[in-house]
Amino acid sequence: MDIILKYFADFTEEQIRQFQLLEPLYKEWNEKINVISRKDIDLLYERHVLHSLSIAAAFNFPCGARIVDLGTGGGFPGVPLAIFFLK
Protein backbone atom coordinates (compact mmCIF):
# COMPACT_ATOMS: atom_id res chain seq x y z
CA MET A 1 0.00 0.00 0.00
CA ASP A 2 2.88 2.39 0.78
CA ILE A 3 4.14 2.16 -2.79
CA ILE A 4 0.97 3.67 -4.24
CA LEU A 5 0.96 6.44 -1.62
CA LYS A 6 4.52 7.27 -2.66
CA TYR A 7 3.31 8.19 -6.16
CA PHE A 8 -0.32 9.15 -5.49
CA ALA A 9 -0.74 11.14 -2.28
CA ASP A 10 -4.03 12.90 -2.97
CA PHE A 11 -6.48 10.15 -1.95
CA THR A 12 -9.48 10.63 0.27
CA GLU A 13 -9.77 8.52 3.42
CA GLU A 14 -12.43 6.43 1.67
CA GLN A 15 -10.15 5.74 -1.29
CA ILE A 16 -7.33 4.68 1.03
CA ARG A 17 -9.74 2.37 2.85
CA GLN A 18 -10.86 0.85 -0.45
CA PHE A 19 -7.29 0.31 -1.61
CA GLN A 20 -6.43 -1.31 1.73
CA LEU A 21 -9.35 -3.71 1.33
CA LEU A 22 -7.97 -4.97 -1.99
CA GLU A 23 -5.15 -7.05 -0.50
CA PRO A 24 -7.21 -9.34 1.76
CA LEU A 25 -9.89 -9.62 -0.94
CA TYR A 26 -7.41 -10.61 -3.66
CA LYS A 27 -5.57 -13.01 -1.35
CA GLU A 28 -8.83 -14.73 -0.43
CA TRP A 29 -10.01 -15.08 -4.02
CA ASN A 30 -6.57 -15.93 -5.34
CA GLU A 31 -6.55 -19.05 -3.16
CA LYS A 32 -9.85 -20.12 -4.74
CA ILE A 33 -9.51 -19.27 -8.41
CA ASN A 34 -5.98 -17.92 -9.05
CA VAL A 35 -7.02 -14.38 -10.01
CA ILE A 36 -3.41 -13.23 -10.46
CA SER A 37 -0.12 -15.12 -10.47
CA ARG A 38 0.50 -16.71 -7.09
CA LYS A 39 4.08 -15.43 -7.12
CA ASP A 40 2.77 -11.86 -7.55
CA ILE A 41 0.21 -11.82 -4.74
CA ASP A 42 2.67 -10.36 -2.21
CA LEU A 43 3.49 -7.60 -4.70
CA LEU A 44 -0.16 -6.79 -5.43
CA TYR A 45 0.18 -3.04 -4.89
CA GLU A 46 3.41 -2.68 -6.84
CA ARG A 47 2.77 -4.96 -9.80
CA HIS A 48 -0.96 -4.57 -10.22
CA VAL A 49 -2.49 -1.59 -8.42
CA LEU A 50 0.34 0.87 -9.10
CA HIS A 51 0.65 -0.25 -12.71
CA SER A 52 -3.09 0.22 -13.15
CA LEU A 53 -2.94 3.70 -11.63
CA SER A 54 -0.15 4.68 -13.99
CA ILE A 55 -2.86 5.05 -16.63
CA ALA A 56 -4.38 7.86 -14.55
CA ALA A 57 -0.98 9.55 -14.33
CA ALA A 58 -0.43 9.35 -18.09
CA PHE A 59 -3.88 10.29 -19.37
CA ASN A 60 -6.21 13.09 -18.41
CA PHE A 61 -9.75 11.78 -18.80
CA PRO A 62 -12.41 14.50 -19.04
CA CYS A 63 -15.09 14.54 -16.35
CA GLY A 64 -17.89 12.18 -17.31
CA ALA A 65 -15.72 10.18 -19.73
CA ARG A 66 -16.73 6.55 -20.15
CA ILE A 67 -13.95 3.99 -20.01
CA VAL A 68 -14.23 0.36 -21.02
CA ASP A 69 -12.11 -2.43 -19.52
CA LEU A 70 -12.06 -5.23 -22.07
CA GLY A 71 -11.41 -8.35 -20.06
CA THR A 72 -7.88 -7.62 -18.90
CA GLY A 73 -8.40 -10.11 -16.07
CA GLY A 74 -8.50 -9.93 -12.31
CA GLY A 75 -10.16 -6.53 -12.30
CA PHE A 76 -7.04 -4.74 -13.49
CA PRO A 77 -6.82 -1.93 -14.40
CA GLY A 78 -10.57 -1.32 -13.93
CA VAL A 79 -10.93 -1.70 -10.14
CA PRO A 80 -8.00 0.55 -9.13
CA LEU A 81 -9.04 3.14 -11.72
CA ALA A 82 -12.64 3.08 -10.46
CA ILE A 83 -11.40 3.75 -6.92
CA PHE A 84 -9.12 6.50 -8.22
CA PHE A 85 -11.72 8.36 -10.26
CA LEU A 86 -14.79 7.94 -8.05
CA LYS A 87 -14.06 10.63 -5.48
Torsion sign, CA atoms 69, 70, 71, 76: negative
> How many domains in the chain?
1
The pLDDT value recorded for residue 21 is 98
Q: Please state, in angstroms and as integers, the Cα–Cα distance from residue 36 to each residue in 7, 28, 45, 50, following that order.
A: 23, 11, 12, 15
- Residue 6's pLDDT band, with cuts at 50, 70 and 90, is very high
| Whole-number pLDDT of residue 64 | 85
pLDDT score of 18 more than 90: yes
| Cα end-to-end distance, the chain, whole Å | 18
Domain with 75, as residue range(s), is 2-85
